């Protein structure tokens, strides 16, 4: 059986939570491999709604759940989320949750710096969640991060914190902000360490053993391909690699561990925060999409920007991310539109592009080139077979497949888990 990596093919918020939950029933292990508690996955199971940020979605199903080394971990947020799940009746123990010992920590100073820098940018702000993700990744790359395994060595922690604050307090002084008290930070780390340590494991060994046993491993991505720090709409991106290649690096598994790449793709397009969005709608249609789709961020509650489906963007994500098939979500939001539009390319300074170029000024100048397609009046909400879909809805899906050059593997027609049409089983060989 193939292992599966689930990634977003747009700017995040594509509905990964439901699809990961749907797939986790078929998986033995679920792995988070990048990002932090800036991710937001909503699971609707029966009459309960679970909102996860840092924890793998498999926990709700009692699956072995792993937070890989590619994730930056806020230990306070981790424990809070564990307690929230327990309050909803979900058992979370060290037997089913493993946190990589070599993952970098997010500290209170990171979120403080994150917010200060966003405020300083003014109109040029990136649109971060303010949760310290970027500054934590910066420390990791600069080799000054406090890692999870450092919590086991209180004696060495003093020197590590001192070295970290040598950098950060200089930054804070330069911004006219209050410096971080090293003694207070050390006290916070020593207080939380014994609560986190039981979950800390050598993750790469656990996953290697699981692979030897033939376990099916589901890699759960956060954000979306166009927020990738290398391949996204830089600098309006997250601070990690969000494409499927990171599943191997961010978990400690070899590159051959990822078999099938499933790109979660919304039937229209949304984006949270700043940055280019060629197919964005500022009219009544955009407002309708937002209202019908309940487009508000799981983590931040921010209203999402909405627009027509951008086939050029998703095709680009598919090529860069090695996407084998897509899970098309929220098709029902398009019910009732007489006409739909699909962005098939861009007019940039009078020249046609079939991809979104990397240069910031070209991205900002991109104007959508649309193809119109007939809509449908019938409801697709809750459909569980192709036979229940209007012919024009199927035509829309088939046109998307042609334009993005990737087939639809799953189709989601509501937030309910079972309102899913399976075309190709990603776990099949």
Active site residues: 13, 41
Angle made by CA atoms 126, 127, 132, in degrees to the nearest 5? 95
Sign (positive or negative) of CA dihedral 410, 414, 417, 418: negative
Beta strands 408-412 and 420-422, pairing class: antiparallel
Write phi, then psi, for 301 (nearest 5 degrees): 80, 5
Write phi, then psi, for 368 (nearest 5 degrees): -70, 140
Kindly provide the residue ranges of all beta strands, DSSP E only, lying in 239-366, ordered along the sequence.
260-266, 269-271, 305-307, 309-310, 325-329, 339-348, 351-353
52 in Cβ contact with 58 (< 8 Å): no
Of 317, 287, 240, 232, the C-alpha closest to 39 is: 240
Sign (positive or negative) of CA dihedral 328, 334, 340, 345: negative
Burial (0-12, 13-18, 19+ Cβ within 10 Å), 300: middle
281 in Cβ contact with 306 (< 8 Å): yes
Q: State whether residue 413 is helix, strand or coil.
A: coil
- For the chain, what is the radius of gyration of the CA atoms? 22
128 in Cβ contact with 237 (< 8 Å): no
Burial (0-12, 13-18, 19+ Cβ within 10 Å), 360: middle
Kindly provide the residue ranges of all beta strands, DSSP E only, lying in 272-382, ordered along the sequence.
305-307, 309-310, 325-329, 339-348, 351-353, 367-374
Cβ atoms within 10 Å of 272's Cβ, excluding its own: 23
| Phi-psi domain of 81 (left: phi exceeds 0; alpha: psi -120 through 50; beta: other) | alpha
How far is the C-alpha of 130 from the C-alpha of 209, rounded, in Å?
37
How far is the C-alpha of 142 from the C-alpha of 83, rounded, in Å?
33
Whether cis (ω within 30° of 0) applies to the bond prior to 235 is yes
């Amino acid at each position: 059986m193939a292992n599966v990596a689930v990634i977003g093919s747009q700017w995040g918020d594509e509905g990964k939570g439901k699809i990961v939950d749907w797939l986790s029933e078929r998986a033995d292990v679920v792995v988070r491999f990048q990002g932090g508690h800036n991710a937001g996955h909503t699971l609707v199971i029966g009459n309960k709604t679970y909102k996860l940020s840092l924890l793998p979605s498999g926990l709700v199903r009692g699956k072995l759940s792993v937070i890989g080394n590619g994730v930056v971990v806020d230990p306070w947020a981790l424990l809070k989320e564990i307690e929230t799940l327990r309050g909803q009746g979900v058992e979370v123990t060290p037997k089913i949750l493993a946190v990589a010992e070599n993952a970098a920590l997010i500290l209170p100073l990171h979120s403080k710096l994150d917010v200060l820098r966003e405020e300083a940018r003014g109109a040029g702000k990136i649109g971060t969640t303010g949760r310290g993700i970027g500054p934590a990744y910066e420390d990791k790359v600069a080799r000054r991060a406090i890692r999870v395994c450092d919590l086991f060595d209180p004696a060495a922690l003093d020197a590590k914190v001192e070295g970290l604050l040598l950098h950060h307090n200089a930054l804070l002084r330069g911004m006219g902000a209050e410096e971080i008290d090293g003694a207070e930070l050390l006290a916070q780390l020593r207080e939380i360490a014994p609560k986190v340590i039981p979950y800390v494991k050598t993750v790469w060994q656990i996953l290697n053993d699981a692979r030897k046993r033939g376990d099916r491993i589901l890699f759960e991505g956060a954000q979306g391909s166009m927020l990738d720090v290398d391949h996204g709409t830089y600098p309006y991106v997250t601070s990690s690699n969000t494409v499927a290649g990171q599943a191997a690096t961010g978990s400690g598994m070899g590159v051959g561990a990822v078999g099938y790449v499933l790109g979660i793709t919304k039937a229209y397009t949304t984006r949270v925060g700043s940055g280019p969005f060629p197919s964005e709608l500022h009219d009544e249609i955009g407002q309708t999409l937002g209202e019908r789709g309940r487009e508000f961020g799981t983590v931040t509650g921010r209203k999402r920007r909405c627009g027509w489906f951008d086939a050029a963007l998703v095709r680009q994500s598919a090529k860069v991310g090695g996407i084998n098939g897509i899970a098309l979500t929220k098709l029902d939001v398009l019910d009732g539109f007489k006409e739909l539009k699909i962005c098939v390319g861009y007019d940039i300074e009078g020249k046609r592009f079939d991809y979104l170029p990397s240069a910031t000024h070209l991205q900002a100048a991109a104007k959508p080139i649309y193809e119109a397609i007939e809509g449908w009046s019938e409801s697709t909400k809750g459909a569980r077979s192709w036979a229940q879909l209007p012919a024009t809805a199927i035509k829309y899906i088939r046109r998307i497949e042609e334009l993005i050059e990737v087939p639809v593997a799953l189709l989601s027609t509501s937030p309910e888990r079972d309102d899913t049409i399976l075309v190709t089983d990603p776990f099949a060989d």
